[in-house]
Structure 1
Amino acid sequence: MNQPPPPPAQPQQNPYNPYGQPAPPQQPPGYGPLPTPGQPSTHPAPPFQPQPFGQRPNAGGGGHPVGAVLLGFLVSVLVSLLYSGLNVATYKDQSITTANILYLGHALLNGAVVGSLVGLVGGRSNGARIGAAVIAALGAFFGYTNSLPLIFAFEETPAAALDLVTYDFFFPAKAWWTSETNGGVDWFSPLGLVLAAATAWGLAHALGTRRRRA
């Protein structure tokens, strides 16, 4: 008669873990053991901690460059239209000196308004400052050149003004560039562009920097 097989051998128990409890989670190398609950960690933080997303400094100075340029463009168009309307209303009473003063004054005003708005809204964005300078210069130019067809339409008819521009599209620009006294270059014309651009850029830079510091 065969004897029954012997019972299977019991697995050897760890004397330090008699109940077979799972091992605690392992800490990554170099960080040491986990701290006891309620006790501060005795190990310093790793040498580099990546900055969380959403907390990076804004390279544009915290402003809105695109919105600032768009707002500056709209305001420049409005100021230019007001200047053109003033020319239409007063051109008969303007001397050459008065016309030059009004032109330079409009260039200064256009640059000041555009530069202030871009500086306050666009912050320290260099692109917004350059855009302000370009927009102000264009506003000074088109404010004068748009006056000539409007004056012609006011004196004659809108159809006649359209025919004039169609016949010579660059007639307003030629009149802007040409001096009425000697037929040469009217240096007040490019001076107005420089004045408008410099004023816009300077105010945008000053107000944008001050806004960032505040």
Structure 2
Amino acid sequence: MKNISHTTIFETKDNKSREVLEAINSILGSTENNPDFYELQATEGRQSIGIEQTREMITWLQFKPYQSTNKLAIIRNAEQLTEQAQNSLLKTLEEPPTHSYIFLLTRNHRSLLSTILSRARLVRLKKEKGKTGLEEEKPLTEVIDAPIQEKLKWINATVGIKDPVERKNTIYQFLDEVHATIINKQEAKSRLYNLKLLETTFEGIKRNVNNKLLLENLLFNLE
């Protein structure tokens, strides 16, 4: 991967995707027992990454590399960063030390604050075809044209996902696909109405409004 930004968000479902590994190797080479490599993720038993963890990483980034030319910090499952933790990163993301690189890996970039997104390069990686040998997943947007009972079944299954991070990412992925469908396939009049409806849903999800009600409102009112 050429022209790697000092601050990069990788949207990927595979933390060990080929593109991510290539980017890591181009900066550090091997990360094994490398003192210039820092990996940040939620501690065992927790589902969030807190401000104390990000502060430790920021402090580590300020020091010069020990054995390499550069330092690299990776935040895995960055969607688990609390709002406080994300805010603590803003200054460092905007003006990272010249020798430092920061990668944020997330399953959906919309789970991050807009202030984070504005300070980083976004790289959206697609799942490699044929990697698992499984049949390709059907588009989530098929539910838009499904009968009411099928819509309700999908909504209940989605809001019933126990892992809150996985649940929110599934919803964000669906909303992203709906957005692409609206932009690419709809006439101007319907497009404007549906985009406003979609934006209302996005904002509601971010504010933790009842997910079931939001999805019902969206799916039953799309034109």
TM range (shorter): under 0.3
Q: TM-score of the superposition, structure 2-length normalised?
A: 0.27
Quick one: higher RCO (CA 8 Å, sep 6+), 1 or 2?
1
Write 1 or 2 for the structure with the bigger share of helix: 1
Write 1 or 2 for the structure with the bigger share of strand: 2
